[in-house]
């Protein structure tokens, strides 16, 4: 199979969360660590896009595993919205296919991205993207690097900011709900958190054992007063301020 760059986007403003979502703890683990741990195994190149490089200095091999280095880049264009983050991800990717995922997704799915990548190669599409009743999921999708980079640049030059603003000019394969569940029957790949209230709700459900079908048994901790820390699980030293 063609090689794959995996990019986790952590450059959003996080206005509703009130702090960078990449660093928010969920069951004692920074969201960025969850994404890296779940997705690094399918990556030939692993990238984080962020507007605060220094805030991620704590990340280490305990998150990514041996044999792959973690690259960090800031957005090439400032204050240009989600489309700028997409452009940055594609620009720094060195592999012909690029999986792009948002850092605030609680259960990003390596299996789903692998299925999207397979279809991308089989069809010669420009991108393979899930489509739900809420619309496209551009930040759990796989892109053909060179074609999409050019299309995204055209959209940026035209003043666009939405991540999907250029889709009408691309060859797209849509993943339906059935396609998503066939790739990852657990579901929940697009669950994300935008506010402290949403974060608390998801954490409560995980701690209560209500989300093991999605997350697996490793998501549960029985001690709510001392959930597993990033340092213990991933050999990182981050402590939430």
Distances (CA, A) of 222 to 118, 218, 219: 38, 11, 10
Helix H or strand E encompassing 172:
strand 172-175
Distance of CA 214 to the CA centre of its chain: 16
Per-residue pLDDT band for 226 (boundaries 50, 70, 90) equals very low
Position 31 scores a pLDDT of 87
Provide mean pLDDT across the span 175-179: 95
Unique residue bearing structure tokens 């279809």? 119
Residue 60 is given by DSSP the state: -
What six digits make up the tokens of 41? 């195994």
Which architecture characterizes domain 4-227 according to CATH?
Answer: Alpha-Beta Complex (3.90)
Identify which of 33-42, 140-149, 209-218 has the greatest average pLDDT: 140-149
> Distance between alpha carbon 9 and the CA centroid of its chain, in Å?
6
Model pLDDT for residues 97-143, shown as the tens digit of each residue:
999 999 999 999 999 999 999 999 999 999 999 999 989 999 999 99
Distances (CA, A) of 141 to 137, 164, 174: 7, 11, 10
């Amino acid at each position: 199979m063609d090689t794959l760059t995996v990019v986790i986007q952590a450059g959003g403003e996080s206005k509703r969360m009130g702090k960078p979502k990449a660093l928010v703890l969920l069951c004692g683990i920074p969201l960025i660590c969850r994404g890296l741990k779940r997705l690094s195994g399918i990556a030939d190149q692993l990238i984080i896009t962020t507007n605060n490089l220094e805030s991620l200095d704590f990340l280490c091999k305990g998150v990514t595993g041996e044999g792959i280095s973690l690259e960090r880049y800031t957005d090439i264009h400032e204050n240009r919205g989600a489309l700028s983050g997409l452009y940055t991800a594609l620009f720094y990717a060195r592999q012909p296919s690029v999986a792009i995922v948002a850092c605030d997704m609680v259960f990003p799915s390596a299996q789903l991205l692998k299925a999207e990548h397979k279809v991308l190669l089989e069809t010669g599409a420009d991108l393979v993207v899930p489509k739900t009743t809420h619309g496209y999921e551009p930040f759990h999708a796989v892109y053909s690097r060179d074609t999409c980079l050019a299309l995204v640049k055209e959209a940026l030059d035209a003043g666009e900011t939405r991540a999907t603003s250029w889709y009408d000019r691309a060859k797209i394969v849509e993943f339906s709900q059935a396609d998503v569940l066939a790739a990852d029957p657990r579901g929940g790949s697009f669950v994300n958190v935008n506010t402290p209230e949403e974060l608390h709700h998801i954490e409560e459900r995980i701690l209560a054992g209500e989300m093991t079908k999605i997350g697996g048994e490793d998501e549960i901790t029985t001690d709510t007063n001392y959930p597993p820390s990033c340092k213990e699980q991933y050999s990182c030293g981050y402590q939430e301020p």
